[in-house]
Amino acid sequence: MINNKYEQDGFVINENDIHTILTASAGHDTIRTREILAKSRELKGLSMEDVAVLAAITDSGLLEELFAAARYVKESIYGRRLVLFAPLYISNLCKNECIYCAFRARNAKVKRRALTMEEIAREGMILINQGHKRILLVAGESYPSEGFSYVLRSIETLYSLKSQNGEIRRINANIAPLTPDEFRQLKDTNIGTYQLFQETYHQETYHTVHIGGKKKDYMWRLTAMDRAMEAGINDVGIGVLFGLFDWRFEILAIMQHIRYLEGKFGVGPHTISVPRLEPATGSDMAEHPPYPVSDLDFRKIVAIIRLAVPYTGIIMSTRENPNLRRETFALGVSQISAGSRTNPGGYLEGNDDEDIAGQFSLGDHRALDEVIRDVASLGYIPSFCTACYRLGRTGADFMDLAKPGAIKDHCDPNAMSTFMEYLMDYASPQTRQEGETAIETILPQMGEKQEKMARKMVEKVKTGKRDVFC
């Protein structure tokens, strides 16, 4: 079988290589570290060896230089925009036993629920009427009796929703690994990014924390991106759950996975997510991570990934508290969730229902409007843009623009127009005032061509046009 062949060949993850590189990285001097930081500013990415050296930084001065380089690369590629989305959990049914997760099959502390299409539509309308345009659809690895078609119908339901001022323009999907035929069906629903986390690339740890269900199969999960991309899904998102194993190993494993995808498909992941293990109902491991990641190391992780793969979006969830989220915006994060609920039905019923517990504890409980006001006050432009998906700027076409930094010629004006949409249609008076001030402050800081395009698009929105993009 193909899985056995992958195991014999070592496939993507070569643990011996990772350990060798980490060992060799110890003791590198300041000169070598600064050479790597200078190299990162060329926006061409870094090698695994480079990443290992940066991971070993402890000197406070070099840490500040690392963070300064990350800020430079982030703004060079993505400008001042910060994309916002919301997860929508349609089901917490699951057949797996992941000992860190509240949704694990034998966790009697969680009441099981799969939303009906009517309930999914209700949740979707709540998000639309908050101002969201992007949704990340999330489900456990089990579906109601109709099977995988439940997911397909859920996506169709969400895309059909319309309100006076908005609609869902892009649905990304975070669901269990699929067969090739199922991935083709998923692609036909017009999703954006297919997102799946390996959780940990370290095989011994993986088998220790996944003790039941199909998710026990390390290779089936690891090769999911192959099947997705072979089915024609151009944009995929990867990630690990930091805290299950040594974060230094994990980021080098991420690099191996990226290089594999680039070599086979000519394009790496569209996004990398960086969740940390957070408390979850019924999980002692979630309360006591085996490899806890400090706030400082977490900031290093974000900065290093930004330098290593400058063209890839970095996603930050509401697992983290507002202060830490703010700190990571400048270090590389380009997408954030806001106003999140992690339990099925949570947008209407709340996230803290004793019977319908969330998948994990949230660190940022603020509403979307408050997050947007905060983001704008920090000098960023909240973006709800989905233009690249609808204009075909995905996969290799997106990377051709992102790698040299040209994508922000589109991203910044589109961010401005979608932000103005939000301010006019959904924002509180305080947020609208803060947002309009941010727009007028940032517009003159853009390149002449970008500013001209952005002003033109913003004016169209002010006159009543919607969904204006370039």
Distance of CA 452 to the CA centre of its chain: 30
Q: What angle do CA 115, 239, 307 make, to 5 degrees?
A: 140
Task: State mean pLDDT over 319-329.
Answer: 94
Predicted pLDDT at 77: 87
Output the pLDDT for position 239. 97
How many CA atoms lie less than 13 Å away from 341 in the CB half-sphere? 23
What is the CATH architecture of 76-366?
A: Alpha-Beta Barrel (3.20)
At 7 the pLDDT is 44
Cα dihedral angle (31, 33, 34, 37), rounded to 10 degrees?
160
- Indicate the domain borders of the chain: 76-366, 400-462
Q: How far apart are the first and last CA of the chain?
A: 46
Say if residues 321 and 60 touch (Cβ distance below 8 Å).
Answer: no
- Does the pLDDT value for residue 400 go beyond 80? no
Residue 4 has pLDDT above 50, yes or no: no
Please determine, for residue 2, whether its predicted confidence score (pLDDT) is greater than 50.
Answer: no
Asked if residues 140 and 92 have their Cβ atoms less than 8 Å apart, the reply is: yes
pTM across the whole model = 0.92
With bands split at pLDDT 50, 70 and 90, how would you rate the model's confidence at 190?
very high
Mean pLDDT over residues 293-310, rounded?
Answer: 97
* Phi, psi torsion values for 352, nearest 5 degrees: -115, 20
Euclidean distance between CA atoms 419 and 84, whole angstroms? 10
For a pLDDT cut of 90, what percent of the chain falls above it? 76
The per-residue pLDDT for range 218-253, each reduced to its tens digit, is 999 999 999 999 999 999 999 999 999 999 999 999
Tokens encoding 298: 């977490």
pLDDT at 355 over 70: no
Q: Which tokens go with 203?
A: 């095989």
Q: 46-50, 298-302, 384-388: lowest mean pLDDT where?
A: 384-388
| Predicted pLDDT of residue 3 | 40
Tokens of 122: 């209700």
Tens digits of residue pLDDT in 244-290: 999 999 999 999 999 999 999 999 999 999 999 988 888 889 899 99
The first and second tokens of residue 335, run together, are 């997408």
| Strand ranges for 354-461 from DSSP E | 381-383
DSSP string, 144-180: -TTTTHHHHHHHHHHHT---SS----EEEEE-----H
Q: Is 131 left (phi over 0), alpha (psi -120 to 50) or beta?
A: left
Q: What token pair was written down for 32?
A: 């070598």
Average pLDDT score over the chain: 91
pLDDT of residue 405: 61
More confident residue, 353 or 247: 247
